[in-house]
Amino acid sequence: MKYKRILLKLSGESLMGNKQFGIDHDRLTEYAAAIKEVAAMGVEVAIVIGGGNIFRGIQAAEGGMDRVQGDYMGMLATVINSMALQSSLEKAGVETRLQSAIKMEQICEPFIRRKAVRHLEKNRVVIFGAGTGNPYFTTDTAATLRAIEIEADVVLKGTRVDGIYTADPEKDKTATKYDTISFEEVYSKGLEVMDMTAFTLCKENKLPIIVFDMNKKGNLKRLVEGEKVGTLVEF
């Protein structure tokens, strides 16, 4: 097994499946099964989910809403997604803990680093909700920050494309995929992997990122076993 402790970053949009909005329960069940599979292998799994399927703070700000208010609303959307994934995992028989950067004692623990690490050591899946708890930071940054704090081996960014391409493969049919790419190349080529704050945090802390297709069955398991899946961003 190549990776012992992983931080899995999922976008809120990925939970929509084929819907236009909200949560597709079939997609949620597929993700829970994939996570259960790697947790059963002894991999320590932490997860951060976005909230774009429910609410996007930055879009609300563009419409005239106060940016800070919008960002907090976005954080609450991530908690809804985190609760849905927690429920799906527990239904599959996986022990989980949900920790939030914003205190909500009735539904989740507050984020405490030592407690999170202890849960992981006990092979519980830990879901981090509410981003960093601060406006102006994305869930990519939250994922990177939590990964560094828990000393994860890698950030796995699950998307609907199978890696990083020279251009957007959904728009440009001539785009070619990178198997591996350096942080410097991503900077110089202006490729969008994560927002710059998250990306810089990874680079400075020598934390590799793998961008892969989470929707392809078996990909997560193959990745933690060391197979070349998706694109590896390395230092």
Instruction: Tell me what pLDDT residue 59 has.
Output: 78
What value does the mean pLDDT take over residues 145-151?
Answer: 98
Instruction: Tell me what pLDDT residue 134 has.
Output: 97
What's the pLDDT tens digit per position in 125-136? Answer: 999 999 999 999
Q: CA-CA distance, 42 to 147, in Å (whole number)?
A: 18
Residue 211 · residue 164 · CB < 8 Å: yes
3-state secondary structure of 164: strand
- Of 189, 194, 227, 225, which Cα lies nearest the Cα of 209? 194
Residue 182 · residue 235 · CB < 8 Å: yes
Residue type at position 157: K
> Which CATH architecture does the domain made up of 5-234 adopt?
3-Layer(aba) Sandwich (3.40)
What's the pLDDT tens digit per position in 56-99? Answer: 877 777 888 899 999 999 999 999 999 999 999 999 999 999 99
Residue 5 · residue 150 · CB < 8 Å: yes
Sign for the pseudo-dihedral over CA of 7, 122, 81, 64: negative
Report which of residues 170 and 198 the model is more confident about. Answer: 198
Instruction: Tell me what pLDDT residue 133 has.
Output: 97
Residue type at position 162: D
Instruction: Tell me what pLDDT residue 63 has.
Output: 83
Residue 76 · residue 130 · CB < 8 Å: yes
Q: Domain extents for the chain?
A: 5-234
pLDDT above 90 (res 18) = no
What's the pLDDT tens digit per position in 157-180? Answer: 999 889 999 988 878 889 999 999
Q: CA-CA distance, 92 to 94, in Å (whole number)?
A: 6
pLDDT tier for residue 181 given thresholds of 50, 70 and 90: very high
Output the CA–CA distances (angstroms, integers) from residue 147 to 65, 124, 215, in the order listed: 31, 16, 22
Residue 171 · residue 191 · CB < 8 Å: no
Instruction: Tell me what pLDDT residue 124 has.
Output: 98
Instruction: Tell me what pLDDT residue 98 has.
Output: 98
